[in-house]
Amino acid sequence: MAIVSLVALFILSVGFAKIMAICVNWMCALRLPREFVFADKTLNLVLITIYPLVLLYGLGPQICQEHSWSDIHPAWWPPIALGIVGACLLISSTVRYWRYRPACELSVSSQLVDLRTSPDWQLRLIGTRRRWGRLAALPGNEQFTIEVSTRTYHLPCLPACWEGLSIVHLSDFHFCGRINRAYFEAVCDQAAALQPDLFVFSGDLLDDQDLLTWLPETLGRLKAPLGQFFVLGNHDWYLDPEQTRREFIRLGWTDVASQPVTLTRPDQPTAPPLILCGDETPWMGSHADISQFPPDALRILISHTPDNIDWARSHGIHLMLAGHTHGGQIRLPILGPIYSPSRYGCQYSAGVFWREPTLMYVSRGISGKEPLRYNCPPEVTKLIAVRPDPAMLRPMQ
């Protein structure tokens, strides 16, 4: 009986931890100062640690020795209720994680590129500039195992002239000094080899403004026939976003958060254009003004956070590319990701989602402030859009 009670306490503690994770995910989705977010994360970790100890100290003797849950003092009801609600939410998010199927996906070819091939890989890749860089060398850490993939999707409403449009989507570099520039150069080599029509970067370049000097040798080297386009993220907003923006532009990248860009096929100038717009809300700027978009244009949104999916849907965006969530960085066995900084929690932590009329791709990104990745490798992804074949059309998921 004591074992059953201890298991019940464990489940309540896990449920409480889920509630705390939901709070952190919400906080990181809001326009809050970096110090506030850091304090919130710290407080959450303290509460997650304290909760089981308090429960064990306060209720342990009663439920383990007297085997009675029925006459618990009412003061314990709120924390117990939190634990029960959290456990239910954890079950719900776990079911959603296992039921996830990539939407509109026609084909995938993917390979894992392990950068730890030479004996001196730690010396080359792990930075000494900041503490905690050694986390990257932990056994099983996938930080230096990049998934390079080419994914083809049906995109309803894709104009014929844009059939086969290819985009390499990169996100969340987080230059902070815990990982050396050599890693990001290798990432960009992989991206360049994919030879897309255009490159897209969906924000969070920096955690240390001094490392903006790494940009020319990394993203600054990428060139595509239709161009290179970027938005910034909340970690860029914490620093000096205007300096970062200027450096991107100097290197030939186009800032789509400031103004939408119209692209046309050089050989078909009268065909429907492609409109690329950006969204850095809630941290910077405002949603794009789409009132002037031609009705037949292909509309692509680059948004740092997937939380702008509702705006994209209500404004007829056809394809939305986002980052910010890093796929959760650590995906637990069975449970999947726990931390994913979004109003939707882990629902849009990574992958492709069809939310009519918008197809959204959320990248796991390249790195993070903490160089830790389990069951969640960094990704360099080339997306190819094709028109659905009416004869083969299946219901969208």
* Chain positions contacting Fe ion, by CB under 5 A: 172, 204
Between residues 162 and 230, which has the closer beta carbon with respect to Fe ion? 230
Token pair, residue 189, equals: 């080599």
Residue number with CB closer to Fe ion (36 or 77): 36
Decide if 31 contacts 283 (C-beta within 8 A): yes
Q: Quote the least distance from Cβ 34 to Fe ion, whole Å.
A: 12
Nearer Cβ to Fe ion, position 86 or 371?
Answer: 371
Helix axes 34-60, 2-28, angle to 10 degrees: 170
Cβ atoms of 196 and 144 within 8 Å: the answer is no
Quick check: helix, strand or coil at residue 226? coil
Q: How far is the CB of 283 from Fe ion (least distance, A)?
A: 11
| Amino acid code (one letter) for 353 | F
Outline where DSSP puts E strands in 190-347. 198-202, 228-231, 253-255, 261-263, 274-279, 298-303, 319-322, 331-332, 336-337
In whole angstroms, the minimum distance from the beta carbon of 241 to Fe ion comes to 14
Q: How far is the CB of 291 from Fe ion (least distance, A)?
A: 31
CB of 369 to Fe ion, least distance (A): 8
> Which among 389, 346, 385 is positioned nearest to 99, based on CA atoms?
346
Least distance to Fe ion from the beta carbon of 199, Å? 18
What are 222's strand-pairing partners? none
Q: Which two tokens stand for residue 226?
A: 């239709």
Q: Which is nearer to Fe ion, 51 or 237 (CB)?
A: 237
- Residue 176 or 226 with smaller CB distance to Fe ion: 176
Q: Structure tokens of 35? A: 């110090």
CA distance 254 to 246: 10
Residue 84 or 372: the one with the smaller Cβ distance to Fe ion is 372
Strand partners, 355: 358
Give Rg (Cα) of the chain: 23
Token code pair at residue 144: 């230096």
Question: Which phi and psi angles does 131 have, rounded to 5°?
Answer: -65, 165
Q: Distance (Å, rounded) from C-alpha 248 to C-alpha 1? A: 63
**Closest C-alpha among 212, 213, 275, 278 to residue 239:** 212
Instruction: Please state the closest distance from residue 193 (CB atom) to Fe ion, in A.
Output: 24
Smaller CB distance to Fe ion: residue 204 or 279?
Answer: 204
Question: Residue number with the shortest CB distance to Fe ion?
Answer: 204
Closest to Fe ion by CB, 9 vs 205, is: 205
Least Å distance, CB 304 to Fe ion, is 8
Q: By C-beta, is 142 or 204 nearer to Fe ion? A: 204
Question: What one-letter code names the amino acid at 234?
Answer: N
DSSP for residue 104: T
Q: Least distance to Fe ion from the beta carbon of 30, Å?
A: 15
Given the structure tokens 């009416």, which residue do they identify? 390
